[in-house]
Amino acid sequence: MVEVARTRSSYAEYVAVTQTADRKYEYVAGAIVAMSGGSIAHGRLISRVTALIGRALEGRPCIVLPADVRIRIRAADRATYPDLFVVCDVVERDPEDDHAVTNPTVIVEVLSNSTAESDRGDKFADYRRLRSLREYVLVSQAERRIDVYRRDGRRWQLDEYRAGEHAVIEALGITVAVDAVYADALGAIVA
């Protein structure tokens, strides 16, 4: 990620930048940070997970939102674009940003070399500050593996799912076959 401004920017300044920008920017504690583009493998995994979750939720009162919709985390002074997220309630928008959702139920990130540390570290710490968030799902690009972090009161429990298993996403009442996520997504990249 590349920082745009070295001085602290207000959230209103950030929103103004996003309205005219030709790329996506995150807002992290006053810094406006340019997001890098993803790889083909990353994009294919996002598409696959989006399709599988969307299909599993058909007829239910949940919506799957893609990476072009941002989440505002007021408690962490952050706005970010997860790879996809699900809202199982009335969508709540941030009062200062009509394009930002504040109540995701499940967030999914596809790990890449450049984002894995943040996705497991500071970004996850910020996501945990969202009261609505029940599960955080990480999809590996390096191996057939899906990690599901599940809120249990104040604690977060990790369940790891590998090839041949079904990842359980309790907050949505669904399971996703790990092999189905990677079918046609990575081919020869992941054994």
Do residues 176 and 165 touch, judged by C-beta distance below 8 A? no
Do residues 79 and 98 touch, judged by C-beta distance below 8 A? no
Q: Could you tell me the pTM of the whole model? A: 0.91
**What are the phi and psi torsion angles at 182 (to 5°)?**
-90, -10
Q: Where are the domains of the chain?
A: 1-36, 38-182
Using the predicted structure, report yes or no on whether residue 190 has a pLDDT greater than 50.
no
Q: Class of 38-182 per CATH?
A: alpha beta
Using the predicted structure, report yes or no on whether residue 21 has a pLDDT greater than 90.
no
Do residues 134 and 171 touch, judged by C-beta distance below 8 A? yes
Do residues 138 and 119 touch, judged by C-beta distance below 8 A? yes
Closest CA to 112 of 187, 25, 40: 40
pLDDT digits 0-9 by tens, 89-128? 899 999 999 999 999 999 999 998 888 888 899 999 999 9
pLDDT at residue number 6: 53
Mean pLDDT of 137-164: 96
Using the predicted structure, report yes or no on whether residue 38 has a pLDDT greater than 90.
no
